[in-house]
Structure 1
């Protein structure tokens, strides 16, 4: 099987979309559970005027939720992955801007752990961007075949493996903070 055929395989699209949907849903839940904490984190980023941070926080949570739901409802569509790319890209850019400013004491606001900004956070997000990019590229290519029932199981296991890698990287970032303290 050539790389082009593999990229166009709907199994790749389904696995990457499902993994990204799970990550986005797991990321948005702490924001919904404790919106004030996320609002405070976004305010600390100092990317929008203080008067706008509540609205910006609400808009980001809505966009993240929408991207996750799109990936669940339309997993084989390139537009769903592009929506996820936009949300994760925006969050990663915000982290990068503050790292460039030398502001490493800010909590990311991306999870319940409250991991501070770091290069590791950018790399973790870059991995998610790669997964979303693979989903978008695979969905945009002409599908090479129809998915069989076993393909759905394989996509689920691949998505679970990707999710576990995401969770492990998040835990490593949190442990690094504890080890430094």
Structure 2
């Protein structure tokens, strides 16, 4: 592989680490901050015994924070990448089971305290795509240039923030158009 391809793949790996890392860090802290709300969402999925919800809720929140920190810092990048991909596959599976049951009115539970999306097959597919992106840093590895690594992570954080802004604009537009029709 030529040097420019290696740099490009390292930058892409850092971009994925940054965007997935910040997503996990924010989601994990939200689950810690709004723990009771998250437990309600976790319970509504009806996939875990009631006695295990509390432990599962804390474990998931801490795992998300640690995974996000690994991806953003680059320390344990491969482990963080694999953990993120595994959690995203688990989330997609849990959502898919409920969509298949016809239970699409549930919140995704991604970031408690914020308006989440309701379950759908498109959300399941998007979560699976994110799992693929999360795995890229484990496959490609870290960029050989620390500057490129930092730039890639910061671009990933910026992409995630743009995604949130875009989603907020779409929600505001939907609310405005719904209010205009009433």
Q: TM-score scaled to structure 2, two decimals?
A: 0.78
Q: 1:138 maps to what in 2?
A: 140
Distance 1:55 1:155, change over 3 A: same
SS in 2 for 1:9: helix
Once the two structures are TM-superposed, the CA of residue 128 in structure 1 deviates from its matched residue by 1.9
CA distance, structure 1, for counterparts of residue 100 and residue 6 of structure 2: 37
Q: 1:18 maps to what in 2?
A: 18
Q: 1:85 maps to what in 2?
A: 85
RMSD of aligned alpha carbons: 3.1
Equivalent residue pairs, number: 175
What stretches of structure 2 of length at least 5 have no aligned partner?
none
Q: 2:145 maps to what in 1?
A: 147
Q: 2:110 maps to what in 1?
A: 110
Asked whether the 8 Å contact 1:31–1:38 carries over to 2, the reply is: yes
Q: 1:42 maps to what in 2?
A: 42
Distance 1:119 1:174, change over 3 A: farther
Once the two structures are TM-superposed, the CA of residue 174 in structure 1 deviates from its matched residue by 5.2
Distance 1:160 1:52, change over 3 A: closer
Distance 1:55 1:67, change over 3 A: same
Q: 1:162 maps to what in 2?
A: 159
Once the two structures are TM-superposed, the CA of residue 167 in structure 1 deviates from its matched residue by 2.0
Q: 1:97 maps to what in 2?
A: 97
Once the two structures are TM-superposed, the CA of residue 176 in structure 1 deviates from its matched residue by 9.2
Q: Which runs of 4+ in 1 moved over 6 A?
A: none
Asked whether the 8 Å contact 1:6–1:12 carries over to 2, the reply is: no
Q: TM-score scaled to structure 1, two decimals?
A: 0.78
Asked whether the 8 Å contact 2:105–2:119 carries over to 1, the reply is: yes
Once the two structures are TM-superposed, the CA of residue 121 in structure 1 deviates from its matched residue by 2.0
CA distance, structure 1, for counterparts of residue 166 and residue 124 of structure 2: 11
Q: 1:120 maps to what in 2?
A: 122
SS in 2 for 1:87: helix
CA distance, structure 2, for counterparts of residue 180 and residue 86 of structure 1: 38
Asked whether the 8 Å contact 1:43–1:50 carries over to 2, the reply is: yes
Asked whether the 8 Å contact 2:92–2:124 carries over to 1, the reply is: yes
